């Protein structure tokens, strides 16, 4: 690069940044805003579909008439397919072009979602969910690739802000949306909702994103797909093992061991094949950079903080028997500030604010919301969460916008835009981390709550025992109250004991939820330390926009 601009000395970081910014095209598409809208819808759709599937799993199992164990594989089928297609999308995207792959995948996804509620066969349902996962799984890595390659720099700060907001918003509006569908229409709309949104995304991609140049017939032979197949299969199998581990009792299960070790074997095969014969579509050395590795760790860490709105708050209300439409009003408050936060964050980044500061501010707000939620008692209802969820929405939105902003700057200034394989590898890497982080966070939180509930049950049980005068007085009083509606004194006494045990379990579970809130707060605190270790980008979004406008202004003055 030094020779190309007439310099015989090594370039400084600032000079490399200036050269990188100048090399980015200001307009790639004649309709950039339409293409950007397609990118945003794609990121939103893949998250919303997975969340709606989780919320509607009970209705889906009842529709097909299957057991709990059979139903557990439905969610795994969809998510394992998402994991499989993540690395493989590097191959198909590099071979056929992201635009062509997205249009085909979105079309198949639309048809599959339209027919999913009409399926009554369990095996056919699993197959359809795998197809839905394989097709929608291309949306996240390939739309992130588009976001980096087609967005004019003057739109990039706002694109990144809305990209993160659409992902975060899908998580937070899903309970209310599903509750409304179930109450006023039908649970079928958990799939038909996606079937209606996907064609809008296809239209935006078709008109807003230019087609990739056709591959030359006399060009080099296409790269082998075998290594991608090994890696995708390995990650999907290990992902399924982790998702089913709690239910299968981990290493004591033959199914878990079979899934995990077969996945590890395929991953090892992919690594050996990569070392023996490098694939031009994979740029693993490109990922081995301080900020890239640290940002991957932060994405994994951030996904755990989402358990605040995905697991802890819904479960604190579900223990009272609340349905999705009753839980939704508590969660929806975290979605209310998303649009104002997106505009604010985009404006601040455009003005030159370091996205690391946005990330740190968001983590601080999330930690404070978790501490406030730790005041939870078993008497809380949805209304008690309005204040904390509003703060959570601000925190999670700023965190994700700051994180995505850092990831994009890292992709720009490490040369990701110079070669399509680099940016495809970059996108697939963060897609894989996103899926593993979300699943690992949910698994660990569920395991943590179960362990803490057992601990609190044992500790509370030490003070609730036969012979204790407080316990005996409560049992006698409740027995007297239940006698009129029981078959006898013995039956009333047994019912009184059962009610005391239920109260004990409720208090133990409430204490475990408080521990979960505090765990999220400490997670945010540790993430703040990792944010402080991130190296500052050579330039911010404001500098990028300014540099790209300078050549255009000079060109107009010469004309």
50, 79 Cβ separation under 8 angstroms? yes
Judgement on whether residues 63 and 189 belong to the same structural domain of the protein: yes
Contact 154, 545 (CB under 8 A): yes
Whether residue 241 is found in the same domain as residue 318: no
Distance CA 161, CA 354 (A): 13
Q: Where are the alpha helices (DSSP H) in 355-414?
A: 355-373, 386-413
Q: Which residues contact 533 (CB under 8 A, 6 or more apart)?
A: 294
Count of domains observed in the chain:
4
Q: Residue 140's closest CA among 441, 429, 541, 440?
A: 429
Give a yes or no: residue 537 inside a domain.
Answer: yes
Q: How far is CA 18 from the centre of its chain?
A: 33
Report if residue 428 sits inside a domain: yes
Do 38 and 135 lie in one domain? The reply is: yes
Alpha helices in 222-323 (DSSP H): 226-248, 254-276, 284-287, 290-305, 307, 313-318
Q: Is 2 domain-assigned?
A: no
8-state DSSP, 337: T
The verdict on 300 and 413 lying in the same domain is: yes
- How far is it, in rounded angstroms, from Cα 405 to Cα 413? 12
- Report the C-alpha gap between 106 and 101 in whole angstroms: 8
The CATH number assigned to the domain holding 408 equals 1.20.1250.20
Torsion of CA 319, 334, 409, 351, to 10 degrees: -160
Q: Are residues 306 and 438 in the same domain?
A: yes
Q: Is 429 domain-assigned?
A: yes
- pLDDT tens for each residue of the chain, 559 residues long: 444 444 455 555 555 555 655 555 555 555 667 777 877 788 788 888 888 888 888 888 888 888 888 888 888 889 888 888 877 776 777 677 777 888 888 899 999 999 999 888 888 999 999 999 888 888 877 766 666 666 666 677 777 777 777 777 777 788 888 888 888 888 889 899 889 999 998 888 888 777 666 555 555 555 667 777 888 888 889 888 888 887 888 888 889 999 999 999 998 988 888 777 766 667 777 788 888 889 988 988 888 888 888 888 888 887 777 776 667 777 777 777 878 888 888 888 878 788 899 899 999 999 999 999 888 887 787 777 888 888 888 888 888 888 888 888 887 777 766 676 777 777 778 878 887 788 788 888 888 888 888 888 878 776 666 555 466 566 656 666 665 566 666 666 666 666 666 677 778 888 888 999 999 999 999 999 999 998 887 777 776 666 655 444 444 444 4
Spatial distance between the Cα atoms of 86 and 100, rounded to a whole number of angstroms: 16
Query: What pLDDT shows up at residue 551?
Result: 46
Q: Are residues 259 and 290 in the same domain?
A: no
In a domain, 447, yes or no: no
List Cα–Cα distances, 303 to 167, 339, 402, 434, 537, in angstroms. Answer: 12, 21, 14, 7, 23
Residues 256-287, buried b or exposed e (16+ Cβ, 10 A)? Answer: beebbeebeebbebbeebbeeeebebbbeebb
H or E, element range at 522 = helix 489-533
Joined together, the tokens standing for residue 103 give: 């249009």
Quote the tokens at residue 432.
């894989």
* 106 found inside a domain: yes
Q: Are residues 178 and 119 in the same domain?
A: yes
Is 91 part of a structural domain of the chain?
yes
In this structure, the answer to whether residues 298 and 412 fall within a common structural domain is yes
Clarify whether residues 74 and 177 are in a common domain. yes
- CB-count exposure of residue 57 (10 Å: 0-12, 13-18, 19+): middle
Asked if residue 4 belongs to a domain, the reply is: no
Which of 154, 182, 212 is a domain's end point? Answer: 212
Assess whether 60 and 168 both reside in one domain.
Answer: yes
Q: Compute CA 450 distance to the chain's CA centroid, rounded to the nearest angstrom.
A: 23
Cα(165)–Cα(396) distance, integer angstroms: 9
Considering the domain architecture, whether residues 379 and 397 belong to the same structural domain is answered as: yes
Same domain for 207 and 261, yes or no, is no
pLDDT of residue 553: 44
Range of the domain at 268: 225-278
């Amino acid at each position: 690069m030094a020779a190309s601009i007439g310099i015989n000395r090594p370039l400084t970081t600032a000079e490399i940044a200036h050269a990188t910014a100048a090399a980015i095209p200001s307009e790639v598409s004649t309709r950039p805003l339409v293409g950007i809208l397609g990118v945003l819808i794609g990121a939103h759709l893949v998250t919303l579909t997975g969340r709606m599937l989780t919320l509607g799993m009970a209705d889906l199992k009842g529709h097909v008439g299957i057991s709990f164990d059979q139903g557990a594989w439905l969610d795994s089928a969809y998510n394992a397919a998402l994991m499989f297609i993540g690395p493989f999308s590097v191959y198909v995207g590099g071979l056929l072009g992201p635009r062509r792959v997205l249009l085909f995948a979105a079309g198949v996804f639309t048809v599959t979602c339209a027919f999913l509620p009409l399926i009554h066969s369990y095996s056919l349902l699993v197959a359809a969910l795998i197809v839905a996962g394989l097709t929608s799984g291309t949306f996240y890595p390939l739309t992130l690739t588009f976001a980096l390659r087609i967005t004019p720099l003057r739109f990039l700060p706002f694109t990144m802000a809305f990209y993160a907001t659409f992902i975060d918003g899908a998580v937070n509006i899903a309970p209310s949306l599903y509750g409304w569908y179930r109450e006023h229409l039908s649970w079928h709309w958990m799939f038909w909702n996606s079937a209606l949104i996907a064609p809008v995304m296809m239209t935006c991609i078709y008109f807003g994103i230019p087609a990739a140049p056709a591959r030359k017939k006399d060009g080099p032979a296409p790269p082998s797909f075998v290594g991608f197949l090994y890696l995708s299969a390995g990650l999907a199998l290990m992902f399924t093992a982790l998702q089913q581990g709690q239910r299968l009792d981990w290493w004591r299960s033959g199914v878990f061991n079979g899934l995990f070790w077969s996945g590890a074997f395929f991953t090892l095969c992919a690594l050996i094949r990569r070392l023996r014969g490098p694939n031009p579509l994979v740029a693993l050395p490109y990922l081995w950079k301080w900020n890239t590795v640290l940002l991957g760790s932060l994405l994994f860490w951030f996904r755990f903080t989402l358990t605040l709105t995905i697991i802890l708050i819904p479960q604190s209300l579900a223990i009272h028997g609340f349905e999705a439409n009753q839980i939704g009003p508590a969660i929806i408050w975290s979605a209310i500030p998303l649009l104002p936060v997106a505009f604010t964050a985009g404006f601040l980044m455009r003005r030159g604010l370091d996205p690391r500061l946005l990330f740190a501010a968001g983590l601080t707000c999330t930690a404070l919301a978790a501490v406030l939620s730790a005041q939870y008692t078993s008497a809380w209802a949805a209304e008690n969460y309005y204040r904390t969820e509003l703060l959570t929405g601000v925190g999670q939105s700023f965190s994700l916008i700051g994180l995505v902003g850092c990831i994009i700057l890292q992709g720009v200034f490490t040369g990701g835009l110079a070669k399509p394989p680099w940016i495809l590898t970059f996108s697939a890497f963060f897609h894989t981390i996103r899926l593993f982080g979300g699943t690992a966070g949910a698994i660990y939180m569920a395991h943590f709550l179960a362990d803490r509930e057992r601990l609190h049950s044992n500790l509370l049980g030490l003070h609730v025992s036969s012979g204790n005068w407080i316990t005996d007085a409560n049992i006698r009083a409740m027995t007297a109250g239940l006698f009129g509606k029981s078959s006898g004194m013995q039956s009333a006494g047994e019912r009184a004991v059962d009610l005391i045990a239920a109260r004990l379990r409720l208090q133990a579970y409430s204490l475990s939820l408080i521990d979960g809130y505090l765990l999220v707060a400490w997670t945010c605190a540790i993430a703040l330390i990792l944010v402080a270790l991130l190296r500052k980008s050579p330039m911010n979004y404001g500098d990028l926009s300014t540099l790209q406008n300078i050549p255009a202004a000079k060109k107009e003055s010469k004309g």
